[in-house]
Structure 1
Amino acid sequence: MKIRSLRLPLAALAGLLVLTGCPDKKTTETADTTPPAEVKLPKAPVFSGDSAYAFTAKQVAFGPRVPNSKAHVATGDWLVAKFKGYGLKVMEQPFEAMTFDGTIIKARNIVAQFQPQAARRVAIFAHWDTRPFADNDPTKKNAPMDGASDGASAVAVALEMARVLSLQPDSLAPTVGVDFILFDAEDWGYDSGTQADLKNQLDGAGDSWCLGSQYWSKHLLPANYKAEFGVLFDMVGARGAKFSREELSREKARFAVDKIWNTAATLGYTDYFLFNDSPGITDDHVYTNQAGIPTVDIIDHLPNNPEQYFPNYHHATTDNMAIIDRNTLKAVGQTVLQVLYLD
């Protein structure tokens, strides 16, 4: 997922030449570090960490979800069937792209709409593909990886939200429609820190990461798509995960950042949702924000660590079911599900 390699600085997004893939460490100042006073929340349905865990395990069981593989096709078909089984309106967006190493891949974005008739909409984003190599692994750099947290956990939270919403009678449904938009080909990008021996064939031709969200942002599905805000899940299933307020999220969707983090605090999830600010990274939210959807990135990282942004499991073979925690899945899913029921 994620573009990951220590993400590009936001300065790079503005077109400045950079020589590193690390986050801009000059943007680590923190403000508003004190959680707000608790407020009474409207009633929302219960998100099941057990169910989200099972959805994560199911995806991992298919094998690495690398574009052009049988496991990738099977997983995509399963996702489409699950959303349809919950009564959502499902659309597929097939596309072809070239990766940094010259591979031509066949991919597809998946869009599933809950209450498609609703005028007000919120988008839930995630990527469903797996990076084809564990290039951050200390001993198995070219091995395939499960992507249990990086990819599967995010999709699992989205699936559980869809399942829960589908069970609500009209009288208990949120007043907004919800669009679950799963991006493909997010994680086959060039990492200059771990792949310096390789040539990036997309150098100068655009970002090698987030190919699915780049395509979607230029070919919106549904056409002319609009949403009040979006939430990107990325690496949201690991034990002890920490989520800070990422820089681009603060710049483009501060109102949604505050809504999510304040809700998490009221629900008692401040061990996960930290009231501190983190550097900007390149992730799918870069392109959804460019498409006019103010988007927040909820992504696991090591807070206040100037030397290492991501946990050790990132792009390593240790990103497997052994690190997945039902409590983390619950904290993320229940928080964002609750946010859908706010004014």
Structure 2
Amino acid sequence: MNQEKPIVLRKGWTTGACATAAVKAALVGLWGGKFLKTVSIILPKGETPTFDLVKPKKGNGWSEVGIVKDAGDDPDVTHGCVVIARVKETPNSVTFKAGKGVGTVSMPGLPIGVGEPAINPKPREMMSSIVYEMAKLYSKKPNIEITISIPNGEIITNKTWNPRLGIVGGLSILGTTGIVRPFSCSAWIASIHRGIDVARAAMFPHVAGCTGSTSEGAVQKLFNLPDQAMLDMGDFAGGMIKYLNKNPVNRVTIGGGIGKITKFAFGAVDLHSKRSQVNFKKLSQLAQDNDLPDISNVNTALEALELAGNDLAGLIADLALQRLKSLTKHSGMDCGIVIVNRAGNVISRVGN
């Protein structure tokens, strides 16, 4: 019997890795007198990717190089962007500036201070190390101003979480390992964590995590919450709850459609369709125990809702609230659940 070979997704490189490679190539152009065609760097875990150079330029005391961001098979909105590093000799040590298309931090709560370019700590460390390494190689002082820019980054950023995180004007330079893992759950969860950090720093008393844009719009309108209080939970209820338990707020609301809230109510914390399913046996028993119409033959939670009506949504919301309270019982947070239909209307709300 023939078995299909598993599909191996191609990994890519973070904006931080691209920026580091661009800095190295630009320094070669500045101090070495000419540009190379490719450049290699060593990533934190020992990988040594090679990057092609684009748009090399130099002038009096400065040099710049671009690297095309390759995100591999990950659906990264920055895939194909050009990450440009300009290096300029200055009297000071290594400093960073945000060029066009790279954001600036405007709210507390992130690992970079307010007013600083949105270049995360690890990429800063990687670029600084490259400056010292190249300065030693060329017998130069490591006094370099690094400006990172990404053409059209000020437009692309609207497709990211940056506006909610208080990063204005462009994209962030990210990455702890330098590697983009396709469809990485950890990257999404890390963004949820940063959202919680920003909300706490802004002293928002109430945050909400929703499973999608429809429920998010309804919940935000219902509670009149600012954008920064809306966490991009998606399917990762567990990741959000775990971090909130360690970093609590006064109130937390989970919002979603009937299917994913049903899965959460019956025990799932990863709500993705490939990793959890609706327990139709429990759902049918719930309806039966509460004298609702028979739903024993349904195939979807939506079909069950259509047969049993909003009373079923109310029962599910109650169970989901009990579960959320149980999962956060040591945090002191006030909890709430909102279930929304496909039209974006609230069909059940319990708790806060």
Normalised-by-shorter TM-score class = under 0.3
The structure that is helix-richer by fraction is 2
Larger radius of gyration: 2
The structure that is strand-richer by fraction is 2
What TM-score comes out, normalization by structure 2 length? Answer: 0.23
What TM-score comes out, normalization by structure 1 length? Answer: 0.23
Relative CO higher for 1 or 2, CA cutoff 8 Å, sep ≥ 6? 1
